[in-house]
């Protein structure tokens, strides 16, 4: 079964054709990074406009790359929530138009479910159940993935997402957007113990996170140093922030896996590209004898191949949308469309 998938939840317009949820026949990404870089972050209005400009052309490109036409497509999957509402609407409306014109079933996909599904593409034998850590620019969740379409949220951030904490720290340190990626690069040779970062815990919620204190710590330390005319080492501060974020992510996920009895761990989302996070999880899983699955770097960030993968399992579970489908800026992963 061949699915045409569309993703436009943030700053990448992406299309892909995926066969039976696991085989990527084509994948096209039109990134807007260079333009948002000028403003230090994603400008929602610009994102929507660029999606509108790119979407027809990259859909044609995905079909061409796969050597297919719309006649060969069995269903259309689209990211419908969560994300920037104006950006999501571009993909959702385009997908509705295609579904109507070509009379193909329409399958709405939850963005975080698709991040998890990126692992089904890379690891052909991976099947639920497992414990997932989903870390992106807007979300930080520990999730019990009970089946391809059943989820239970075990822990979440109470304030900033892990990616947001890294992005904002990077910005304070003068690094360009995308902050998390540049922080990772810059901090490679930094000393993670150079700055004593807070490691906040949420009382009575052992799997939850709180990252806003880390961001405030970086802002205050940088401002204090500026006032005193002292130098801040970007690589040492960067390494210290990344290390503190990873400590929290790894500790809570390890605890959740033990408490809930999982020996299979899956990482997902843009922040799962972080080199320190990947190394730490490799270490812990080796030590515990657990299986670890991580997306390859090209499937960590936003793409449509992961939407095609999850779209397949949603389709198999009977999920369909009609032309009343709307995009939603927020939606919990355990809720269905």
Residues that bind ligand KG4 (CB under 6 A): 10, 136-138, 163, 166-167, 178-181, 184, 269-271, 273-274, 301-302
Residue 181 interacts with which of ligand KG4, Zn ion, none, CB < 5 to 8 Å by class? ligand KG4
Q: Least Å distance between CB 323 and ligand KG4?
A: 26
From Zn ion, ligand KG4, none, which one binds at residue 331 (CB under 5 to 8 Å depending on kind)? Answer: none
For Zn ion, the closer CB: 33 or 225: 33
# binding residues, Zn ion (CB under 5 A): 2
The CB-nearest residue to ligand KG4 is 270
| Smallest distance, ligand KG4 to C-beta of residue 133, A | 13
The item of ligand KG4, Zn ion, none sharing an interface with residue 180, based on CB under 5 to 8 Å by kind, is ligand KG4
- Quick one: 142 or 271, whose CB is closer to ligand KG4? 271
What sign for the dihedral angle of Cα 227, 233, 235, 236? negative
Please, which residues have CB within 8 angstroms of residue 135's CB and are 6 or more apart in sequence? 161, 162, 163, 249, 267, 268, 269, 270, 271, 272, 277
What backbone phi and psi angles, to 5 degrees, belong to 150?
-125, 130
* C-alpha dihedral sign at 206, 209, 213, 219: positive
Q: What minimum distance in Å lies between the beta carbon of 226 and ligand KG4?
A: 24
Q: Which member of 136, 157, 303, 310 binds Zn ion (CB under 5 A)?
A: 136
State which of positions 277-306 bind Zn ion (CB under 5 A): 302
Residue 301 main-chain phi, psi, to 5 deg: -80, -175
Nearer to Zn ion, 218 or 299 (CB): 299
Stretch touching Zn ion by CB under 5 A, among 84-92, 129-137, 291-299, 323-331: 129-137
Which residue, 21 or 179, is less far from ligand KG4 as judged by CB? Answer: 179
- The binder of 273, among ligand KG4, Zn ion, none, by C-beta within 5 to 8 A per type, is ligand KG4
Q: Report d(CA 222, CA 238) in Å as an integer.
A: 12
Distance from C-alpha of 68 to C-alpha of 64, rounded to nearest angstrom: 6
Question: For the CA atoms of the chain, what is the radius of gyration?
Answer: 20
Residue 128 contact partner, candidates Zn ion, ligand KG4, none, CB within 5 to 8 A by sort of partner:
none
* Residue 10 main-chain phi, psi, to 5 deg: -140, -105
CB closer to ligand KG4, 21 vs 269 = 269
Q: What is the DSSP letter of 229?
A: T
Show Cβ contacts of residue 295 under 8 Å, excluding neighbours closer than 6 positions: 115, 118, 119, 121, 122, 267, 268, 272, 306
Q: How is residue 263 written in tokens?
A: 């020996």
For residue 293, CA distances in Å to 154, 259, 272, 282, 296 come to 19, 19, 11, 9, 9
Q: Judged by CB, which is closer to ligand KG4: 79, or 252?
A: 79
Q: Shortest distance, CB of residue 4 to ligand KG4, whole angstroms?
A: 21
Q: 311 touches which of Zn ion, ligand KG4, none (CB within 5 to 8 A by kind)?
A: none
Cis upstream peptide for 129 (omega within 30°) = yes
Q: Is 11 in the site for Zn ion (CB under 5 A)?
A: no
Q: How far apart are the first and last CA of the chain?
A: 22
Residues of this chain that bind Zn ion (CB under 5 A): 136, 302
């Amino acid at each position: 079964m061949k699915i045409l998938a569309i993703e436009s939840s943030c700053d990448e317009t992406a299309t892909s054709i995926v066969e039976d949820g696991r085989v990527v026949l084509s994948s096209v990404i039109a990134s807007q990074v260079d333009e948002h870089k000028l403003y230090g972050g994603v400008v929602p209005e610009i994102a929507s406009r660029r999606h509108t400009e790119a979407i027809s052309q990259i859909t044609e490109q995905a079909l061409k790359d796969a050597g297919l036409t719309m006649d060969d497509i069995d269903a259309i999957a689209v990211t419908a929530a969560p994300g920037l509402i104006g950006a999501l609407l571009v993909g959702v409306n385009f997908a509705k138009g295609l579904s109507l014109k070509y009379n193909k079933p329409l399958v709405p996909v939850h963005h975080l479910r698709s991040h998890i599904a990126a692992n089904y593409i890379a690891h052909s034998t991976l099947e639920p159940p497992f414990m997932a850590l989903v870390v992106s620019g807007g979300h930080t969740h520990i999730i019990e993935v009970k089946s391809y379409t059943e989820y239970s949220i075990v822990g979440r951030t109470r304030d900033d997402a892990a990616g947001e904490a890294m992005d904002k720290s990077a910005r304070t340190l003068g690094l360009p957007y995308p902050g998390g990626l540049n922080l990772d690069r810059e901090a490679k040779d930094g000393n993670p113990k150079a700055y004593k970062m807070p490691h906040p815990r949420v009382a009575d919620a052992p799997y939850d996170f709180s990252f806003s204190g880390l961001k405030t710590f970086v802002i205050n330390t940088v401002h204090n140093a500026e006032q005193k005319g002292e130098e801040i080492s970007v690589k040492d501060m960067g390494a210290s922030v990344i290390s503190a974020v990873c400590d929290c992510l790894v500790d809570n996920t390890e605890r959740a896996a033990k408490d809930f009895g999982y020996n299979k761990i899956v990482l997902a989302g843009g922040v799962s590209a972080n080199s320190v996070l990947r190394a730490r999880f490799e270490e812990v899983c080796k030590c515990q004898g657990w299986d670890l699955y991580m997306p390859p770097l090209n499937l960590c960030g936003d793409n449509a191949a992961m939407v095609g993968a999850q779209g397949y399992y949603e389709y198999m579970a009977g999920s369909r949308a009609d032309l009343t489908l709307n995009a939603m800026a927020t939606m919990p992963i355990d809720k269905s469309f």
